[in-house]
Amino acid sequence: MPIYLDNAATSFPKPESVYAAIDHANRQLAVAAGRGRYQRANDADRMLSLARQAAAHLIGAETTQISFAFSGSDALSTAILGYLKPGDHAIASAADHTSVLRPLWHLEQNHQLELTVVDCDENGFIDSNEIKSAIKPNTKMVCLTHASNVTGVIQPTEDVGEFCKANEIAFLLDAAQTIGHLKFDFRSIDFDFLAAPGHKSLLGPLGTGFLLATDKVAEHCDPLRFGGTGSTGNEFNQPTTCPQKFESGNLNLPGIAGLLAGIQWLATDEAIANSDRTNNLTRQLATQLSEIEHVTVYGLEHIQTPTVSFNIAGTDCQTVGMLLDSQFEIECRTGLHCAPLIHKKIGSAEFGGTVRFSPGVFTTEDEIDQAIAAVQTIAREMGAAIQ
Ligand SMILES: Cc1ncc(COP(=O)(O)O)c(C=O)c1O
């Protein structure tokens, strides 16, 4: 089996209970939830309620504020394209992912939005004062990625959330790289929208995610999709209450069953032990990579999530990625990681981005040792070529 170090993109493998829940749902439960009066439709609906409760509990939200989505990008687009209106101003950052930036750029290009993108520093960190000084009378939304998916640095979300609340600006938190990591307390952050993929550290399957929208902002957020919701079928208009407002069509029931099992797994002793191990392995990985001659680790002192980005002098990141795969059977991500603006600031643009190792809850010490040894070998060979 190859060594999988691309968990920041999507977690793999999943806990056994997740595979079992998906299989069970596909065989026993995958019917139109909440749309019929037969027992199985009720059972499916009950499972959806449990998954919604589990997601809400993670972030201290109300169950009705959680709408299922197909991915983090889907949830982000719903919030950004649904909430912002012509003439509004929004603020994002150079550390943001394209799933935040592209919907914003789309609105800006269509002359519907005034956009400010604040810079980050050489570690990918955003100074909250930069955000505060960018606000204008028409600022309606601040978007911030909780943790950079390139450097693993944590942004000042508490401060930004407090500021947005005081100024009645909607705060959209992109929790793609933090949701499911046990060390983050979402209850301490004042967000209005939170976008979460279900398939990363929540350990659900691809095709899952959710959007949290507080009542205050949900009321002013238009749906992206329209259609059947299993409720108010005699009305022409889309329901105005959540979650039906944002959930048109049959839901991804097997996927959500897997997501529920993933969230439930996070409460087990195994999850707590594995999560501690992942954090320790990440520190070991970052430190030992940084000690290799010709290797630069980005944001070394600031890594807070299992995300270690690096480059080898004189070599573009894609070449390193291909060598890791072809010679060492190590699967990792290379390139811009859908965060196109951060690389100029952290110094990785000349390499075409970074090589990113992202361990997961099932990554072992032996796999990390092998990854470090592989980089040592490549760096030695590349280093010899430079000299
Ligand atoms: C910071 C960040 N935001 C958003 C996303 C988008 O998530 P998804 O792949 O579920 O659309 C990602 C995925 O890599 C991410 O890292």
pLDDT at 149: 98
Residue whose CA lies nearest to ligand 1 atom number 13? 9
Residue whose CA lies nearest to ligand 1 atom number 12? 176
**Six-digit token pair at 333?**
């991500």
- Judge residue 287's burial from the number of C-beta atoms within 10 Å of its C-beta, 0-12 exposed, 13-18 middle, 19 or more buried: middle
pLDDT at 229: 81
**Six-digit token pair at 9?**
């993109």
In the reported structure, the alpha carbon of residue 233 is separated from the centroid of ligand 1 by a whole-number distance in angstroms of 34
Q: What ligand 1 atom has the least distance to the C-alpha of 199?
A: 10
Which portions of the chain are predicted below pLDDT 70? 384-387
In the reported structure, the alpha carbon of residue 28 is separated from the centroid of ligand 1 by a whole-number distance in angstroms of 31
- Judge residue 201's burial from the number of C-beta atoms within 10 Å of its C-beta, 0-12 exposed, 13-18 middle, 19 or more buried: buried
The finding on whether 174 has its CB within 6 A of some atom of ligand 1 is yes
Residues 6+ apart with CB under 8 A from 224: 77, 78, 81, 82, 246
pLDDT at 301: 94
Residues 33 and 42 sit within 8 Å (Cβ to Cβ): no
Q: What is the pLDDT of residues 284-308, one digit of tens each?
A: 999 999 999 999 999 999 999 999 9
Residues 6+ apart with CB under 8 A from 303: 151, 152, 153, 282, 283, 286
The finding on whether 99 has its CB within 6 A of some atom of ligand 1 is yes
Residues 6+ apart with CB under 8 A from 85: 112, 140
Q: How many CB atoms lie within 10 A of CB 306?
A: 26
CA distance 154 to 177: 10
CA distance 15 to 19: 7
pLDDT at 384: 65
Q: How far is the first Cα of the chain from the last one, in angstroms, to the nearest whole number?
A: 35
Q: What is the pLDDT of residues 130-157, one digit of tens each?
A: 999 999 999 999 999 999 999 999 999 9
pTM of the model: 0.96
C-alpha count within 13 angstroms, C-beta hemisphere, residue 354: 29
All domains in the chain, ordered by first residue: 16-265 (3.40.640.10), 269-386 (3.90.1150.10)
Residues 147 and 178 sit within 8 Å (Cβ to Cβ): yes
Residues 6+ apart with CB under 8 A from 125: 95, 153, 155, 299, 302
Residues 123 and 151 sit within 8 Å (Cβ to Cβ): yes
The finding on whether 348 has its CB within 6 A of some atom of ligand 1 is no
The finding on whether 252 has its CB within 6 A of some atom of ligand 1 is no
Residues 89 and 113 sit within 8 Å (Cβ to Cβ): yes
The finding on whether 152 has its CB within 6 A of some atom of ligand 1 is no
In the reported structure, the alpha carbon of residue 298 is separated from the centroid of ligand 1 by a whole-number distance in angstroms of 20
